[in-house]
């Protein structure tokens, strides 16, 4: 994909926007772009540089994303809404064409990585609560204040950031900027290997230097080492990847969302809006707490992935109301007129609270409380799902189960009249 119309090949030390940004390290990539850590020489901060592929359709997509990110940044001057902030954007001419580039505030590892590093066991409830509050804060902002649907909410698109902000304090976060192209090997060829080796040495030294301090200050695992545990850390995160976001009054694609996080109304093509994001949010919250995806549909003998997905939903959430099972453009493909699936007849019902106890070994109380939070958000009728604003009021989010914090719990519980 590093050819005409495709990705722009970047090397460590490459400069962008007339020398303002210096490439440091590749952070990740998506279908449309590669993302590099860059040093902003003007502000002396680290930033994430998202470099779009150059073909016209990717340029169009980037313009759309820039429009949306600009609206998001314009309404979030204080940077408190848990969404990634756009710092700058520009065009960059390379051998593969013109690339639109977005400069974003630099964030840490994704929640997907965090789940992996917790060995798919699920995070402790207090962390899940903190993360849920951040996601809901961002959704409330996007939905209610901007009229935007994210359409691709999932752990991969939610990034951690530390209270020690690496963009402001690179030394403490373990990084020193590279301002020039590193020297080449004796043959005069700059290879990524030699550079990587140097970088690794440098990172190792920096990590050793800061590990003690970081432990005492409780920084979230940012680069170069991802988080293994978040013990005693104030967890914050931000929603990223607005490449597929759309204005609620101008829905774009018919099929939105990543499979496992896709809402029933999207599968049935009965129209979607903000509640589709709420569905993805609930799937994400479940995954954070259990370490496993809520729904992992597969094609089977005589049925499609969509049908398996609908069956999995009904096994946990009960039968789909007839109204929902009969009104979407795709309903007739999957349901008979009684609202039963045509090709998957025998469902094994296991309600969410029992699933949490039997499969994930939650205590009865934990399971009931968590299910009480999630089930309304997983209503098959999108109009019945609570909004992000309503979810933020749910008592589950404000329960604090720390034993050394009992007085606080009492006063909070008192206020909520439970």
Tell me the number of residues near ligand ADP by CB under 6 A. 22
Instruction: Residue count of the chain, please give it.
Output: 418
Q: Which is nearer to ligand ADP, 50 or 127 (CB)?
A: 50
Binder of ligand ADP out of 32, 295, 334, 370 (CB under 6 A): 32
94 binds Mg ion (CB under 5 A): no
Please report, for residues 35, 64, 231, the alpha-carbon distance to residue 79 in angstroms, rounded to integers and kept in the order given: 22, 21, 26
Instruction: Report the site for ligand ADP in 73-102 (rule: CB under 6 A).
Output: 84
Identify the burial level of 397 via C-beta atoms within 10 angstroms of its C-beta, where 0-12 means exposed, 13-18 middle and 19 or more buried: middle
State how far the Cα of 319 lies from the Cα of 264, in Å rounded to an integer.
Answer: 12
Q: Which is nearer to Mg ion, 30 or 376 (CB)?
A: 30
Say if residues 341 and 307 touch (Cβ distance below 8 Å): yes
Tell me the number of residues near Mg ion by CB under 5 A. 2
308 binds ligand ADP (CB under 6 A): no
Taking CB atoms, the residue at the shortest distance from ligand ADP is: 30
Instruction: Return the one option of ligand ADP, Mg ion, none that residue 27 interacts with (CB less than 5 to 8 A, by type).
Output: ligand ADP
Listed ranges 24-32, 87-95, 204-212, 346-354: which one lies at the site for ligand ADP (CB under 6 A): 24-32
User: Checking phi first, is residue 147 left (phi over 0); if not, alpha (psi -120 to 50) or beta?
Assistant: left
User: Checking phi first, is residue 17 left (phi over 0); if not, alpha (psi -120 to 50) or beta?
Assistant: left
Tell whether 50 is in a known binding site: yes
Distance of CA 61 to the CA centre of its chain: 19
Per the listing, tokens 């509050």 go with 133
Query: In the complex, what is the shortest distance from the CB of residue 157 to Mg ion, in angstroms, rounded to a whole number?
Result: 6
Please name every residue paired with 91 in a beta bridge, in sequence order, or none if there are none: 100
Tell me, yes or no, if 152 is annotated catalytic. Answer: yes
241 binds ligand ADP (CB under 6 A): yes
Query: In the complex, what is the shortest distance from the CB of residue 57 to Mg ion, in angstroms, rounded to a whole number?
Result: 17
Query: In the complex, what is the shortest distance from the CB of residue 31 to ligand ADP, in angstroms, rounded to a whole number?
Result: 5
Instruction: Return the one option of Mg ion, ligand ADP, none that residue 240 interacts with (CB less than 5 to 8 A, by type).
Output: ligand ADP
48 binds ligand ADP (CB under 6 A): yes
28 binds Mg ion (CB under 5 A): no
Query: In the complex, what is the shortest distance from the CB of residue 240 to ligand ADP, in angstroms, rounded to a whole number?
Result: 5
Binder of ligand ADP out of 12, 27, 178, 344 (CB under 6 A): 27
- Which string of x and - marks every residue 29-58 that binds Mg ion (by CB under 5 A)? -x----------------------------
**Which of 14, 76, 109, 152 does the annotation list as catalytic?**
152
Query: In the complex, what is the shortest distance from the CB of residue 206 to Mg ion, in angstroms, rounded to a whole number?
Result: 28
24 binds ligand ADP (CB under 6 A): no
- Which string of x and - marks every residue 190-229 that binds ligand ADP (by CB under 6 A)? ----------------------------------------
Instruction: Report the site for Mg ion in 241-300 (rule: CB under 5 A).
Output: 241
Q: Which is nearer to Mg ion, 134 or 159 (CB)?
A: 159
Identify the burial level of 228 via C-beta atoms within 10 angstroms of its C-beta, where 0-12 means exposed, 13-18 middle and 19 or more buried: exposed
Query: In the complex, what is the shortest distance from the CB of residue 62 to Mg ion, in angstroms, rounded to a whole number?
Result: 13
CA angle 377, 350, 361 (to 5 degrees): 90
- Which string of x and - marks every residue 120-159 that binds ligand ADP (by CB under 6 A)? ------------------------------------xx-x
Say if residues 1 and 8 touch (Cβ distance below 8 Å): no
Query: In the complex, what is the shortest distance from the CB of residue 32 to ligand ADP, in angstroms, rounded to a whole number?
Result: 4
Q: Which is nearer to ligand ADP, 31 or 193 (CB)?
A: 31
C-alpha R_g of the chain: 23
Please report, for residues 26, 199, 373, the alpha-carbon distance to residue 196 in angstroms, rounded to integers and kept in the order given: 11, 5, 46
Please name every residue paired with 326 in a beta bridge, in sequence order, or none if there are none: none
Q: Which residue positions form the known binding site for ATP?
A: 50
The residues assigned a catalytic role are 152
* Interacting residues toward ligand ADP by CB under 6 A: 27-33, 35, 48, 50, 84, 104-107, 110, 156-157, 159, 240-241, 243
| Interaction site with Mg ion (CB under 5 A) | 30, 241
């Amino acid at each position: 994909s590093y050819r005409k119309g495709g990705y722009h090949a970047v090397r460590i030390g490459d400069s962008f926007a007339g020398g303002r940004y210096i490439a440091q390290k590749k952070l990740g990539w998506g279908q449309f772009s590669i993302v590099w850590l860059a040093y902003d020489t003007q502000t002396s901060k680290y930033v994430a540089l998202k470099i779009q592929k150059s073909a016209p359709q990717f340029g169009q997509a980037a313009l759309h994303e820039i429009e949306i990110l600009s609206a998001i940044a314009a309404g979030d001057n204080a940077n408190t809404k848990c969404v990634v902030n756009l710092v700058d954007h520009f065009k960059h001419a390379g051998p593969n064409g013109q690339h639109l580039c977005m400069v974003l505030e630099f964030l840490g590892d994704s929640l997907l990585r965090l789940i992996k590093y917790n060995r798919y066991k699920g995070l402790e409830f207090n962390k899940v609560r903190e993360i849920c509050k951040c996601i809901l804060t961002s959704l409330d902002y996007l939905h209610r204040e901007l009229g935007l649907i994210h359409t691709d909410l999932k752990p991969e698109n939610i990034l951690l950031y530390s209270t020690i902000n690496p963009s402001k304090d690179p030394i403490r976060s373990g990084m020193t900027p590279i301002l020039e192209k590193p020297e080449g090997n004796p043959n005069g060829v700059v290879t990524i290997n030699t550079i990587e080796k140097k970088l690794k040495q440098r990172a190792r030294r920096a990590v050793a230097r800061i590990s003690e301090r970081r432990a005492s200050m409780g920084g979230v695992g940012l680069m170069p080492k991802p988080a293994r545990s978040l013990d005693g850390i104030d967890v914050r995160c931000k929603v990223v990847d607005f490449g597929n976001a759309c204005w609620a009054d101008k829905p774009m694609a018919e099929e939105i969302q990543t499979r496992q996080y896709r809402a029933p109304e999207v599968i049935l093509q009965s129209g979607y809006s903000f509640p589709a994001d709420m569905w993805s949010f609930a799937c994400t919250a479940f995954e954070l707490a259990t370490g496993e995806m809520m729904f992992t549909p597969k094609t089977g003998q005589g049925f499609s992935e969509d049908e398996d997905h609908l069956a999995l939903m009904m096994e946990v959430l009960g039968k789909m109301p007839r109204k929902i099972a009969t009104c979407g453009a795709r309903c007739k493909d999957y349901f008979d007129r009684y609202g039963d699936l045509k090709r998957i007849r025998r469902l094994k019902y296991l309600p969410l609270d029992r699933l949490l106890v039997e499969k994930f070994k939650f205590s009865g109380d934990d399971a009931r409380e968590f299910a009480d939070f999630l089930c309304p958000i997983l209503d098959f009728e999108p109009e019945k799902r609570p909004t992000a604003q309503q979810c933020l009021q749910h008592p589950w989010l404000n329960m604090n189960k720390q034993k050394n914090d009992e007085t606080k719990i009492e006063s909070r519980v008192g206020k909520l009249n439970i």
